[in-house]
Amino acid sequence: MKATMNSKQHCQHKQTYKRRTSFIEVLMITSVFLLIWQALSRLYSPLILPGPVLTMQSILKILQSDNFFNELFLTLQRLVLGLFAAIVIGSIMGILMGCNQFCKRLFEPLVYLVQATPPILYITMAMLWFGLNGRATIFIVFIGSAPVMAVHIKEGFENIDGKLIEMGKAFAFPKSKMLKVIMLPSLKAYFKTGLITVFGFGWKLVVMGEVLSASTGLGAQITDAKMNLETNMVFAWGSIVVLLCFLSQKNTDWLFACKRRRRRNYE
Amino acid sequence: MRVNEDGEETMNEKLLLKVESVSKNYEEVRVLDGFSMEAKRDEILCIIGPSGCGKSTMLNIISGLIQPTYGQLINKSQNTSYVFQEDRLIPWKDIYQNIQIVNDESSHECCMELIEKVGLKGFEGFYPHELSGGMRQRCSIARAFNYDADLLLMDEPFKSLDYNLRIGMIRYLLMLWENKNKTIVFVTHEIDEALLLGDRILVLSNRPTKVVAEFKLQEAKEKRKLTDRSLGIVRNQILELLQSDGMIAAKKMEKAKRDPIYA
């Protein structure tokens, strides 16, 4: 009984230690940032640096316009398609590299090569291969994110606790059990960080791809705004993209944290 | 000494494990060099030796986790269970699941009984990181007993625990062992653990590892003849063997054997 109490207290202590940044702190940081922005925007013309108020107005204008959700939907579609392929194929590559030495020797240089190539090269090639429609963007998202995922999963395999594996062997776990009970749960943390990194990459790549190679989507709107010298619109679209990227990363974090272990009762 | 056929037969039946001149090299380092030993059915064999003499390596060879470079291993056991130096519990499984996981056929009652026996009742739903070192090690012992095996290898399982806890753990271990037909090979470098647990104690020398002395306590324990004094003498002898160079001490032992102090 005493031990139960202690453990509960321990948990509470942990929770207070790991508490989230409070609302007031967020407010303070944001207001300081906005103040500096406002001050700087006074020094330059809106063409160079639009102030926060103007940007806010532009964002509202965008949100009210009809085509916003169409553009957002197009971008999301590209992002989801590219990321889905990247996560699936990247994970499979990672698992193969982790499980099999031959696969590792075969794929590892390839994965690092793909990762080392600058995305701008892929964009150039993709524009030639797929033309100036959305498909080039999907390809860029995929080729930019898949190796990141693969490397994360491979790292996860390399960091599985060898002592646990040895324990499994000592108790004659069959391979499937070893994978299910020891290996895959060990990979979870790596999968999560991989996912968060890939989401960040995905958003950047999808917008970049659209800016350079598409006439639709959020990125294309930025290009349009730039063409028309509407810096405030560039800022507004940019803010929207940043916010969406932030939210998707934060949500992944939340998704994993949400599944907190609940204590079972075996009586 | 001659053994008639009958005698040999019973000897063979009782024999569970035989290690015959096993050697193991790790690259250039020879950890084991022509090491031999035996274990009979349903006994607790304690192996005591200085650190680094290859005790863990030997257990790993017996359990089949590593292969010997030379030598032969006869293991007549159906299955081998293992208690490691560290608890090696799965961090994302709770205590109950950790015990249940090694044996898919084990019933709920069986698991609960084991948990109760090692004094972890009420903690089934806790995760390893929420428990103390001693509790975790008890869980790992319960896990080893849940695995259906007739040979149990224990590699300094109480190394990280304090003295009082060790004595308590040995009690739990003996309680678990009583009703089950299991041979335990218990490796340690603590003399007291070996004396409390062992039916037979093997003392090993430094590398190259050899058995320098064997103490048989089973008979004396059964007849309750093992007095504090005789235990103390055995203890001192083991201590002397471990402290001095094993082989020299073994020669001294030969002389001492003329005056049997135990049993």
Which 3 state secondary structure label does DSSP give B79? coil
pLDDT tier at A13, thresholds 50, 70, 90: very low
| Interchain pair B125, A167: CB under 8 A | no
A257 at B interface, C-beta within 8 A = no
- Burial classification of residue A82, based on how many CB atoms lie within 10 Å of its CB (0-12 exposed, 13-18 middle, 19 or more buried): buried
User: How many Å apart are CA A111 and CA A147, to the nearest integer?
Assistant: 5
pLDDT on residue B226 = 65
Torsion of CA B90, B96, B97, B100, to 10 degrees: 110
pLDDT on residue A89 = 95
Task: Find the CB nearest B96 among A3, A261, A266.
Answer: A266
List Cβ neighbours of B193 (8 Å cut-off, separation of 6 or more).
B46, B158, B166, B170, B186
User: What is the least distance, in Å, from the CA of A93 to any CA of chain B?
Assistant: 25
| Interchain pair B88, A167: CB under 8 A | yes
- Beta-strand relationship, B70-75 and B15-26: antiparallel
A136-145 pLDDT, tens digit per residue, is 999 999 999 9
User: What is the least distance, in Å, from the CA of A260 to any CA of chain B?
Assistant: 11
User: How many Å apart are CA A50 and CA A48, to the nearest integer?
Assistant: 7
List Cβ neighbours of A103 (8 Å cut-off, separation of 6 or more).
A96, A97
pLDDT on residue B211 = 79
Task: Find the CB nearest B84 among A167, A261, A266.
Answer: A167
Please check whether residue A143 is in contact with residue A208, taking contact to mean a CB–CB distance below 8 angstroms: no
More confident residue, A16 or B14: B14
Which 3 state secondary structure label does DSSP give B82? strand
pLDDT higher than threshold 60 for residue A95: yes
pLDDT on residue B82 = 87
A204-219 pLDDT, tens digit per residue, is 999 999 988 878 888 8
For residue A174, what is the DSSP state? -
Query: Which site among A159, A166, A167 would you substitute to test the B interface, given the most B Cβ atoms closer than 10 Å to its Cβ?
Result: A167
pLDDT on residue A86 = 95
pLDDT on residue B2 = 40
For chain A, give the longest Cα–Cα distance.
72
pLDDT higher than threshold 80 for residue A250: yes
Average pLDDT over residues A210-231: 87
Please check whether residue B186 is in contact with residue B47, taking contact to mean a CB–CB distance below 8 angstroms: yes
For chain B, give the longest Cα–Cα distance.
58
Provide DSSP, B143-183: HHHHS--SEEEEESTTTTS-HHHHHHHHHHHHHHHHTS--E
Low-confidence ranges of chain B (pLDDT < 50): 1-7, 260-263
A:137-166 residues touching chain B, CB 8 A cutoff: 163-164, 166
A18: number of Cβ within 10 Å: 7
pLDDT higher than threshold 60 for residue A239: yes
pLDDT on residue A5 = 42
| Interchain pair A3, B123: CB under 8 A | yes
pLDDT on residue A75 = 92
pLDDT on residue A2 = 41
Task: Find the CB nearest A163 among B88, B122, B127.
Answer: B88
Please check whether residue A214 is in contact with residue A137, taking contact to mean a CB–CB distance below 8 angstroms: yes
| Interchain pair A265, B102: CB under 8 A | no
Contacts of A181 in chain B (CB under 8 A): 90, 93, 101
User: How many Å apart are CA A67 and CA B182, to the nearest integer?
Assistant: 75
| Interchain pair B79, A172: CB under 8 A | yes
Contacts of B127 in chain A (CB under 8 A): 261
User: How many Å apart are CA A118 and CA A146, to the nearest integer?
Assistant: 14
Determine phi and psi for A125, rounding to 5 degrees: -65, -40
Average pLDDT over residues A162-170: 88
A18-67 pLDDT, tens digit per residue, is 566 688 888 999 999 999 999 998 998 888 888 888 889 999 998 888 88
A171 at B interface, C-beta within 8 A = yes
B:65-124 residues touching chain A, CB 8 A cutoff: 65, 79-82, 84, 86, 88, 90, 92-94, 96, 101-102, 108, 112, 122-124
Structure tokens at A158: 């390399």
Task: Find the CB nearest B63 among A170, A185, A261.
Answer: A170
